[in-house]
Amino acid sequence: MVKVVICGAAGGIGQPLSLLLKQSDLISHLALFDVVNAPGVATDLSHINTGSRVTGHGKEGMNEAMKGAHTVVIPAGVPRKPGMTRDDLFKINAGIIRDLAEGVAKNCPGAFVLVISNPVNSTVPIVCEVLKQHGVFNPKKVFGISTLDVVRSSRFVSEIDSSMDPRATRVTVIGGHSGVTIVPVLSQIPGQKFTKEQLDTLTHRIQYGGDEVVKAKDGAGSATLSMAFAGARFTNAILEATVAGKTGLVESTYVNLSADPESTAAFRAKTGLDYFAQDVEFGREGVAHIRPLPHLSDYEQALLDAALPELKVNIAKGTAFITDNSKI
């Protein structure tokens, strides 16, 4: 029995993400939780002829939805409107994430928790702190899904250099998941010869790709379809590793660095950061290994230097939301 819960399943991301995950043969029960319209979305999806059972859980149904879950994916909350930064979302989404993390601690403390809700730089620390307060924190099992930055990178480089296959070109994206904290390591793409101008264009597009969508949707929300694609890719990788036992799967993802204390000790000592996005190898328990930082060009080192102060503030804000303000 592999039960996967989507929290915020009736939303712009939640619906297409649920549709994509309904196609997974590794999931036996897809539980859709949302404060609105979850039963409708669940009934619709339940007619698709794949193996998983689908259930819908409304406002009062969080505990039932989460009971015994293997994996909890969280795209619940509000998306950005034009002019809002991811950090502006903090006040609304922080409370939602805290309550959902509490639900995880009570109903499925051993579950893998995959956080999509922004600002990821802060919402992941919130989840970790709640789980710590309940004594059930395992850093190998909590992930911020920054895969959309990776997906965008692969696509955008192929638009500049058509010899690069967007499906096959893997780009490591380190740092965090908002604006300047997103650091694409384009120098590691085999055979790349980007000019300084191309690097500037690509880096800006990857860091602010979300703004492109917010602006184009003109008040109707942020990235949903591309995010659902990225979220399904990441969730499937976690399931392949943890359920099917597949080895060698690697994704850039935002994690608590104590998930691999040995590999990250020097970096933590140097930067003082407890959370960071980096290439992570998955295993049966979730994080198997956090890879050391790739070699950075001078250009990328400057991007990382610019990212660290903001990342530090974002992490402190998420952590303090639980440790200072809202004792459970």
Ligand X SMILES: NC(=O)c1ccc[n+]([C@@H]2O[C@H](COP(=O)([O-])OP(=O)(O)OC[C@H]3O[C@@H](n4cnc5c(N)ncnc54)[C@H](O)[C@@H]3O)[C@@H](O)[C@H]2O)c1
Query: What is the set of active-site residues?
Result: 177
Nearer to ligand X, 140 or 177 (CB): 177
What distance in Å separates the CA atoms of residue 2 and residue 48, rounded to the nearest whole number? Answer: 18
Place of tokens 């250099």: 161
3-state DSSP assignment of residue 302: helix
Please indicate if the annotation marks 11 as binding a ligand: yes
Tell me which of 145, 171, 173, 180 binds ligand X, using CB under 6 A. 145
Task: State in angstroms the smallest separation of the CB of 104 from ligand X.
Answer: 12
Stretch that binds ligand X, among 11-19, 232-240, 246-254, 318-326 (CB under 6 A): 11-19
Which of 75, 179, 286, 318 lies at the binding interface for ligand X (CB under 6 A)? 75
| Dist. CA 151–CA 19, nearest whole Å | 19
CA angle 99, 174, 319 (to 5 degrees): 30
Instruction: Return the SS3 of 313.
Output: helix
Do residues 289 and 282 lie in contact, with contact meaning Cβ atoms separated by under 8 Å?
A: no
> Which tokens is 14 given?
């939640």
Question: Per CB under 6 A, does 175 bind ligand X?
Answer: no
CB 249 within 8 A of CB 240: yes
Binding mask 80-119 for ligand X (x = CB under 6 A): x--------x---x--x--x----------------xxx-
User: Is 176 near ligand X (CB under 6 A)?
Assistant: no
Nearer to ligand X, 228 or 243 (CB): 228
Which of 3, 5, 33, 186: binder of ligand X (CB under 6 A)? 33
Q: What is the dihedral of CA 92, 204, 293, 284, to 10 degrees?
A: 50
Is 244 one of the annotated binding-site residues? Answer: no
If binding is defined by CB under 6 A, does position 140 make contact with ligand X?
no
Per CB under 6 A, the segment of 4-12, 20-28, 178-186, 192-200 that binds ligand X is 4-12
User: Closer CB to ligand X, residue 194 or residue 232?
Assistant: 232
The reply, when asked if residue 34 is annotated as ligand binding, is yes
Encoding tokens for residue 107? 């109903």
Residues 197-256 that bind ligand X (CB under 6 A): 221-224, 227
Helix (H, G, I), strand (E, B) or coil at 251: strand
CA distance 269 to 166: 36
Stretch that binds ligand X, among 12-20, 180-188, 253-261, 318-326 (CB under 6 A): 12-20
Is 205 annotated to bind ligand?
Answer: no
Sign of the dihedral through C-alpha 205, 16, 3, 248: negative
- Note whether 62 and 36 are within 8 A (CB): no
Q: Is 324 annotated as a binding residue?
A: no
* Radius of gyration for the alpha carbons in the chain, expressed in angstroms and rounded: 19
Shorter beta-carbon distance to ligand X: residue 12 or 184:
12
Residue 155 annotated as lining a ligand binding site: no
Helix axes 120-133, 298-320, angle to 10 degrees: 40
Smaller CB separation from ligand X, 194 or 318: 318
Closest to ligand X by CB, 151 vs 194, is 151
CB 275 within 8 A of CB 236: no
- Residue set of the binding site: 8-14, 34, 80, 86, 93, 116-118, 152, 227
Chain positions contacting ligand X, by CB under 6 A: 7-8, 10-14, 33-36, 75-80, 89, 93, 96, 99, 116-118, 120, 145, 148, 177, 221-224, 227
